[in-house]
Amino acid sequence: MNTPLTYAMIGGGAGAFIGEVHRKAIALDNTATLVAGALSSTPERSLESAKQLGLPDNRSYGTYQELLESESSRSDKPDFIVIVTPNDTHYPIAKAALEAGFHVVLDKPATHTTEQAEELLQLARSKSLLCCVTYNYTGYPMVREARALLSSGELGPLRKAFVEYHQGWLATDLESSGQKQASWRVDPTRAGLAGALGDIGTHAENLLAFITNQEPHSVYATLKTFVPNRALDDDASVMINYESGAHAVLTASQICIGKSNALTIRVHCELGSIEWNQEAPDNLIVTKLNANPTTYTRGGPDLHQDTQLSSRIPAGHPEGYLEAFANIYRGVADHINAVRTNTEPTRLAQLIPTMTAGKQGVRFVEACVESSNSNSVVNL
């Protein structure tokens, strides 16, 4: 059994959405305990948020710099730092946290530029620290089943994939109403180069890479902005070429009225196919050549070990988004425990997304933006 871990959080104060998700995901499996925080962009709000979360005064900080300085010198310093600040601050904070010697869990997208991502990647590597990027959709058990099926070779080589991430909540100019989630996502200074592509397209790209175990060789992308006066794309369509000759179509859009969080993937190989839908995540449809479609279910028969390890409760008792997210954190904890005990990382630890994936996502966005601007194919 693992020793209980502790963590500090940067960002995720009152009113933030994703910080609360991280905390619940960590709490669900009793993976770690929150012991310190610098939770908001102003010292006052940071301290107020820390109080609401019941943090002791001496571990509630006004800024991330104070947190890192103070916590890194404690004998009971936290095992890892969770960074859930707006995109534009990921790079400096993650860099500082790694330099202070902490394992880091960083919300996606990792950074604004590939260079920044590469720097964090090298920094983590040189200090033997984890820098996990929370591509949380890879935490779903049946996504892991899909990956295991493709890895096993029984479906044959990849031919064609379709991955979509469609939402409808930005079909109107919600940002002009002051809605917080909308505002930063459409602001280039905070969101970065891309809108929908960066916010959700990178999840789609990562899901595709995770399942197929292949990286794009070149892309042709068209980015569109349908809502008037919006600065960034709210709709992206990408064709992906692989060196193997395989091909994929990726679309990410936030103007699809009727869609909530419709992340779906279909992967067609030479000997079979898989199909998965994030809104019905416990199922995976598998069809082998000349056979009928079969619905595999979390908790059901014939599943790979990675899938079984990523599941808590029996088939038919739905697990969801938070449980998938929590699987990432179980892997983080397993990684840290493996480092501590100098043992082999568990399967769960091996499945977590790291800065390698984070960098890949940033590079993908850059290439797509360049392709769309130049109306030409761009190599990654």
List the interface residues with a second copy, window 90-149 (CB under 8 A).
none
Residues of this chain, 54-73, that bind a second copy according to CB under 8 A: 54
Of the listed pieces 55-63, 79-87, 143-151, 162-170, which binds a second copy according to CB under 8 A?
162-170
Nearer to a second copy, 72 or 242 (CB): 242
**Token output for 174:** 């919600």
Start-to-end C-alpha separation, the chain:
42
Minimum Å gap between C-beta 169 and a second copy is 8
Using DSSP's 3-state secondary structure scheme, residue 281 falls into: coil
**What is the pattern of x (binds a second copy, CB under 8 A) and - over residues 257-286?**
xxxxxx---x-xxxxxx-x--xxxxx--x-
Instruction: Pick the binder of a second copy from 101, 122, 154, 172 (CB under 8 A).
Output: 172
Among 80, 296, 329, 364, binds a second copy (CB under 8 A): 296
Which of 343, 334, 347, 321 is closest to 32 using CA atoms? 334
Which residues, at least 6 apart from 37, have a Cβ–Cβ distance to it below 8 Å?
A: 8, 9, 10, 12, 13, 46, 49, 50, 53, 55, 59, 60, 61, 67
DSSP state of 136: G
Q: Of these, 40, 114, 134, 167, which contacts a second copy (CB under 8 A)?
A: 167
Q: How far is the CB of 147 from a second copy (least distance, A)?
A: 18
Geometric angle at alpha carbon 338, from 333 and 340, rounded to 5°: 95
- Closest approach, Cβ 63 to a second copy, in A, equals 25
- Which CB sits closer to a second copy, 92 or 148? 148
Provide the pairing of β-strand 158-166 with 131-133. Answer: unpaired
Q: Which is nearer to a second copy, 130 or 263 (CB)?
A: 263
- Does the N-terminal peptide bond of residue 353 adopt cis geometry, omega within 30 degrees of 0? no
Q: Least distance to a second copy from the beta carbon of 125, Å? A: 33
Q: Would you count residue 293 as binding a second copy (CB under 8 A)?
A: yes
Q: By CB under 8 A, is residue 380 in contact with a second copy?
A: no
Q: Does 30 bind a second copy (CB under 8 A)?
A: yes
**Which of 2, 6, 14, 29 contacts a second copy by CB under 8 A?**
29
Helical ranges in 215-354 per DSSP H: 305-309, 321-341, 347-350
- The smaller minimum CB distance to a second copy, of residues 241 and 356, is found at 241
According to DSSP, the residues that pair with 33 across neighbouring strands are: 6
Do residues 244 and 268 make contact, with C-beta atoms less than 8 angstroms apart? no
Is the backbone of residue 36 left (phi > 0), alpha (psi -120 to 50) or beta?
A: beta
**134 or 273: whose CB is closer to a second copy?**
273
CB nearer a second copy, residue 27 or residue 339? 27
Under 8 Å between Cβ of 21 and 87: no
In this structure, what are the phi and psi dihedrals at residue 252, rounded to the nearest 5 degrees? -135, 130
159 counts as binding a second copy under rule CB under 8 A: yes
CB of 151 to a second copy, least distance (A): 18
Q: Which of positions 200-259 make contact with a second copy (CB under 8 A)?
A: 220, 222, 224, 226, 235, 237, 239, 241, 245, 247, 249, 251, 253, 255-259
